[in-house]
Amino acid sequence: MITLYSPSETNPQEMDGQWSAWINDGTCSKTCGGGKQKQERSCTHPSPQNGGRGCSGDSTRSIDCNPQPCKVDGQWSAWINVGSCSKTCGGGTQKQERSCTNPSPQNGGRGCSGDSTRSIDCYSQPCKVDGQWSSWINVGSCSKTCGGGTQKQERSCTNPTPRNGGRGCSGDSTRSIDCNSQPCKVDGQWSDWVNDGSCSKTCGGGKQKQERSCTNPAPRNAGRSCRGDSTRSIDCNSQPCPGACQKRTENAGCVVTIFYSGICKQTAPKFAPCPYEAYIYEDEGNSSQATIRINGTSTVLKEGQSYEKCATFSLTNFTLIVKESFCNLFELENLIG
């Protein structure tokens, strides 16, 4: 027997949360030599609804970034004498040399600028000699490798040194000069992914085109461009469409309740004897009647009426309750299909 009733007991469908894509939080901790990049994601793709489960796992992580080795510019070693002074007194010359090994240039770094050899004044005998400044020499390195820094320099009153009553040097022995004024190289970095248009479907699983640009920052002054693709396609709107048939079963003793949502078709099982007895509640549309189609003939049942034949019926969002009289005759899957 089949009986119609007014709408009742509608349970909203549960929806479990899903993680969004990982996105960078800030930038890499280093521009070269291996750093760390913090990333984060949120449980909003979609968010859990109607009692659905939240996302499992962490919402933040740290990944490796910028593993390429850092450039090392070459620096001069200290000057060392080659041979001896050309004179024993009265002013001679001393040859000196240095090498670009303190350190040597590495990983595309610049070589040393300047000469690897020089000749300085020297005296050996106790002649009266007025002091003269040596050349300026760098103390340490420039405060910046590019973009304009400062270089400390010093000199000594040794070219020649005053001896035997000669005058000392006048002026300062230290100074600071500008250095490395060339603009710095800037490697390009990707911007965040942004949607291009909308998802190809509103439900049931579609595709979303995304794009990014090499502008965070853009490469400048011969810096490297970004690697990788500027466009991609990701999954979107994976939730089931409202019209798809969804089925949920609850079994309490010998009373079996099946909840259907969407557009569903229910057929009395071929294994069950006629009459096929069940109550049907329709939850949407014209809730006071339902159309049951049997062998090509449609029968309209009003609320409170029943039908005692095997039936195929198509309804939208309804509840089927199987009566107790069938519990001991057939298994559940044979009864309701």
Tokens for 198?
């909308």
208-255 confidence digits (pLDDT tens): 999 999 999 999 999 999 999 999 999 999 887 766 666 666 766 655
Q: Over pLDDT 90: what percentage of the chain?
A: 58
Q: Where in the chain is the domain with CATH 2.60.120?
A: 2-10+243-336
What pLDDT shows up at residue 76? Answer: 96
> Under CATH, which architecture does the 2-10+243-336 domain have?
Sandwich (2.60)
Q: Where in the chain is the domain with CATH 2.20.100.10?
A: 188-241
In this structure, what DSSP letter does residue 51 have? T
Query: What element of type H or E holds 235?
Result: strand 231-236
CATH of 188-241, one of 3.40.50.10170, 2.20.100.10, 3.30.230.10, 3.60.21.10: 2.20.100.10
For residue 93, give the amino acid letter. Answer: T
pLDDT tens for 119-130 read 998 876 777 889
Instruction: Specify the pTM.
Output: 0.32
Lookup: tokens for 286: 């014209």
Report which of 70, 83, 74 is spatially closest to residue 33, judged by C-alpha positions: 70
Split at pLDDT 50, 70, 90, the class of 10 is low
- For 44-89, write each residue's pLDDT tens digit: 999 999 999 999 999 999 999 999 999 999 999 999 999 999 987 8
User: What pLDDT, in 10s, does the model give residues 297-334?
Assistant: 455 555 444 444 444 444 555 555 544 434 443 333 33
Extract the tokens encoding 90.
């009265």
- Label the pairing between strands 117-122 and 92-97: antiparallel
Task: Name which residue leads in pLDDT, 33 or 5.
Answer: 33
Q: Is residue 267 over pLDDT 60?
A: no
Average pLDDT, the chain: 79
> What is residue 100's predicted lDDT score, i.e. its pLDDT?
96
